[in-house]
Structure formats: structure tokens, C-alpha cells
Amino acid sequence: MLYNGVSFAVMMATPHDLEDFALGFSLSEGLIGSAGDLHAIGQRHLLEGIELAMTVAESAPGARLDRQRERLLPGRGGCGICGTRQLEDAVHQPRHVEAGGHISRIALEQALAALHAHQPMNAATGAVHAAAWADVDGNIVLVREDVGRHNALDKLIGAMHHASIAPETGMLLLTSRASYEMVTKAASAGISIMSAISAPTALAIELARSADMTLVGFARTGSHNVYTHPERLL
């Protein structure tokens, strides 16, 4: 991932929906302030992988990368913290999300039940995460898959922007655990309801509470745990 010619990170990603990935990653990592700051995306296929070269507005943070504060590790690890130089660099307070809409338990379970049919890569490999967007009636609207859960969410955020989907019109579904950086990325996109089929971490719960986000974990057909802001769930 390069920004205005400067290398930022090496990511291990599934090579699909790369334009969605470039936009979503740029937004969720705070490298651009809005989708309009990303002027162009270049792709170059190399022996080692694929180079995504983003051209961003000169006013965007991605145009002013500080090489001295780059991660020590290329790309994002399992937890998102490893490789940062300072403790204060590891966790960033997410922005507050808007009130958003309300979701019924029936709609949540309907979306969860339908998600499996929208994961062709995972059906073929059994090793791919998905991030999905469902409307308030529980209909799956968008799904993005990737070997990394962070990348799947970034791809979904980019796809939502490309499709002009407002984040207050539904809910986010994750086939992974709800870690703190997933909450941060979702909050940066303005998503107010996030549901994961696995567990949330303690830090994810605290950040979701402070960001006014509704966080659901262990979401299964017939049961789920609501950790923060249950008022959005009917």
C-alpha cells in the first residue's frame, strides 16, 4: 500500500475487490478524511504480490506520512497492537456514531441465517472471513470476503461508499471475533450496530460503549449477547 509514492504497509490479503479495499483501508486507517480525498488507485502486479498505489489529496494525512512512526511489522497482525512503537499509538478512541436505526431480533437472526449462502470463497476454502451489511429487515445487501477479518471489513466499508449506502440504514455482521480494531474501523465508518458470531474482547466492549455503538457477540440462531447500547435492538 503506497500513498503518493510512499510505502505505508504490506498486507496479506485475498486479491479480490482491491478497489474497495484501497478505499476502505484508507478511510478506516485515517489516511484520508473522506472518499473524495482518494483521487486514483493504481494496481501493479509484481512477482511478490500486488502493489496498490493511492493518489490522495495533498491535505490528506496519507500525503504526509512520517517514516519515523511507521509500524515495525509490515501489515496487521492478529491483534492489531503488535508492531506499534508506543502504547499511545496502539489504541485510538473511535468517534461517536449517530443514533442510527433499530433492528429486531428476528431481522438479526434472518441476516445471520442467510450469511452463509453469500460466502462463496469460504464455501470453497473454509478459511476466509466475511463482513456483511444487512438492512433493517435482515436482508443481506453487501458481503466482502478476505483471509483477514480486518481486510474483509475494510473491503465492505469501501464497497458501501462505492454503493452510496448510508451506515445508519442497517447493521454490520462479522464472521470473526469482535476485536477492538474492528470496533474502531466500524465506528470510523459511522456504523452503529455491529454483530459478531464470536466473542468480543474486553477492550472492544469498552470502546463500543464509549463510541455509542451497539455491540452484539456470540450471535447465533436462537441466541446472542448484547454488550453495549441495547436500546437499538427491539
Q: Which residues are catalytic?
A: 79
**Residue 80 in contact with residue 91, Cβ under 8 Å?**
no
